[in-house]
Amino acid sequence: MKRWLAFLPLVALALLAVLFIGYSLKRNPQVQPDAMVGKPMPALSLPDLATGRPVALAQAAKGPVLVNFFASWCAPCEIEHPELIRLQARGVPIVGIAYKDAPDNSAAFIARLGDPFASKLVDRDGRAGLEFGATGVPETFLIASDGTILAKHSGPLTQADSEAMLAKAR
């Protein structure tokens, strides 16, 4: 009966090997997470979260500004939210883009945690995220006054992360 237990580590190792090989086969080595850094911000119009009216991103994101992709279903977005509130209190303009999220859920998320955003836009189908080169949420982009993407941060922003990003705008 206990004889099969001797094979348990071998079975676990084989499962891990299959998992890593499967990941490697599906991974695209051509993907460059920071490919848009140094390039112009995509010319997009997105619906305003409150009104649904289209807003030109170039008008909403007059730099230097942070553009933050978030979602109500994203736990790391909730973790980074206090940092966004801190930045807003310092006068840093932030454009929030609700990524692949229902507008009602996005509005409830902001109402519950506080509103750090100067503008709140909706990217319901994820197209804007793709054009920015976002690989998930949360992701934050630093946009220069000329519309150039200066920096990108993937994952929840910490104070050190945001200070490092903002230093690139000076």
pLDDT 10s digits, 99-145? 999 999 999 999 999 999 999 999 999 999 999 999 889 999 999 99
Residue recorded with tokens 């305003």:
48
pTM of the model: 0.79
Reported in sequence order, the residue ranges of the chain that DSSP labels E, i.e. its strands, are 45-47, 54-56, 65-70, 94-99, 119-123, 139-143, 149-154
Per-residue buried b or exposed e for 133-160, using 16+ beta carbons within 10 Å of the residue's own CB: bbeebbbbbbbbeebebbbbbbebbeee
CATH topology of domain 45-167: Glutaredoxin (3.40.30)
The two tokens of residue 125 are 């189908």
Average pLDDT over residues 50-58: 94
> Above 90 in pLDDT, residue 49?
yes
Give the model's pLDDT for residue 30. Answer: 43
CA distance 118 to 69: 14
For residues 109 and 156, give the distance between their C-alpha atoms in angstroms, rounded to a whole number: 16
> Does the structure show a pLDDT above 60 at 23?
no
Asked if the model's pLDDT at residue 31 lies above 60, the reply is no
Q: pLDDT-based confidence at 37, cuts 50/70/90?
A: confident
Residue 87 pLDDT > 60? yes
Mean pLDDT for the stretch of residues 21-27: 57
